[in-house]
Chains A and B, each alone.
Chain A
Amino acid sequence: MPATARPLSPHLSIYRWQIQMVTSILHRATGVALAVGTMLLVAGLLALASGPDAFAQVRQFCASWIGTILLIGWTWALAFHFLNGIRHLLQDAGWGYKPEQFVRNGWISTIGSLAATALLWGFVVWGGA
């Protein structure tokens, strides 16, 4: 930061919380979280390539309580980044800029991501053979 005593533009603390800023902040935060999560993807692929023992270790980590919490978190981060990313792509194409559309689509990303996470983990816990 420059050390000059110029006035700063208003920052986070000055604004009322609204869905527009929530989706913006969450998109970046979930992006960072997913980048960290790719380490598990690499670990899984390397384990699968190196043998049953390594694979068992990764599976054991995923089944542990901390692994489960991380996996649920990454599921939500992926769902949010996916839905909100599609919102961003549609906006890049020029759609959804009316304030009421913008607010509605922000809520769709947010609530949709929570619903998708619940759905996926419902399937993990109760669905399938």
Chain B
Amino acid sequence: MSVSYRTPLKRAIGLGSAKHGVHHFVAQRVTAVALALLGIWFVWIALQMLHLDYAGAHALIARPWNALLMVAFAIAVFWHAQLGLQVVIEDYVHATGVAWCAQLTLKFLCFLGAAASVLAVVRITLGH
């Protein structure tokens, strides 16, 4: 093996949590605060849905404030889920290839979930 003249610090800088860890930590907590607030609103909406027929439920989500908050809720939910499940995969999946596939699949699914929710709310609120 050739001798490396780089210091341990030089090799560590820019890698792993030294670069990205705090962003993950902060994003998880920012989305958590958002979801703590939006979650209460969501439960209230879900309870209202109980006694509504299709037209009523459609009209409920089509209201500007509800449509806006539902978009915010969907984005925050899938962002937070991606961050959390990423750590679960990091903790339990140790084979590199499988871990990469799982992380990619997770990111794609979370993005699709958020995008589908937003598109659905747009269609509901613009009427069809």
In whole angstroms, what is the CA distance A19 to B77 when docked?
27
In whole angstroms, what is the CA distance A92 to B61 when docked?
35
**Does the CB pair B78–A45 fall under 8 Å?**
no
User: What's the least CB distance linking A102 to chain B, in Å?
Assistant: 19
**Does the CB pair A32–B36 fall under 8 Å?**
no
**Does the CB pair B77–A38 fall under 8 Å?**
yes
Residues of B within 8 A of A86 (CB): 36
**Does the CB pair B81–A49 fall under 8 Å?**
no
**Does the CB pair A124–B54 fall under 8 Å?**
no
Q: How large is the interface on A (under 10, 10 to 19, 20 to 34, 35 or more residues)?
A: 20 to 34
User: What's the least CB distance linking B80 to chain A, in Å?
Assistant: 9
Which of B3-11, B15-23, B96-104, B113-121 forms contacts with chain A? B113-121
B43 at the interface (CB under 8 A from A): yes
A10 at the interface (CB under 8 A from B): no
In whole angstroms, what is the CA distance A92 to B30 when docked?
12
**Does the CB pair B50–A41 fall under 8 Å?**
no
Known contacts A42-B113, A56-B54, A78 near B39 by CB under 8 Å: yes
A34 at the interface (CB under 8 A from B): yes
In whole angstroms, what is the CA distance A35 to B51 when docked?
26
A29-50 vs B: 1/0 string, CB under 8 Å? 0011011001101100110110
Residues of B within 8 A of A39 (CB): 113
Known contacts A89-B29, A124-B50, A38 near B81 by CB under 8 Å: yes
**Does the CB pair B36–A48 fall under 8 Å?**
no
Known contacts A56-B54, A78-B39, A123-B47, A42 near B117 by CB under 8 Å: yes
A5-18 vs B: 1/0 string, CB under 8 Å? 00000000000000
Known contacts A45-B70, A120-B43, A28 near B120 by CB under 8 Å: no
**Does the CB pair A38–B78 fall under 8 Å?**
yes
Known contacts A28-B88, A38-B113, A55 near B120 by CB under 8 Å: no
In whole angstroms, what is the CA distance A49 to B125 when docked?
9
The closest CB in chain B to the CB of A39 belongs to B113
User: What's the least CB distance linking B46 to chain A, in Å?
Assistant: 9
Closest 6 CB pairs of A and B: A45-B120, A49-B120, A49-B123, A35-B81, A52-B54, A31-B84
Q: 20 interchain pairs (CB within 8 A)?
A: A28-B88, A32-B88, A35-B84, A35-B85, A38-B113, A41-B77, A42-B116, A42-B117, A42-B120, A45-B70, A45-B116, A45-B117, A45-B124, A48-B57, A85-B35, A88-B32, A120-B43, A123-B47, A124-B47, A129-B51
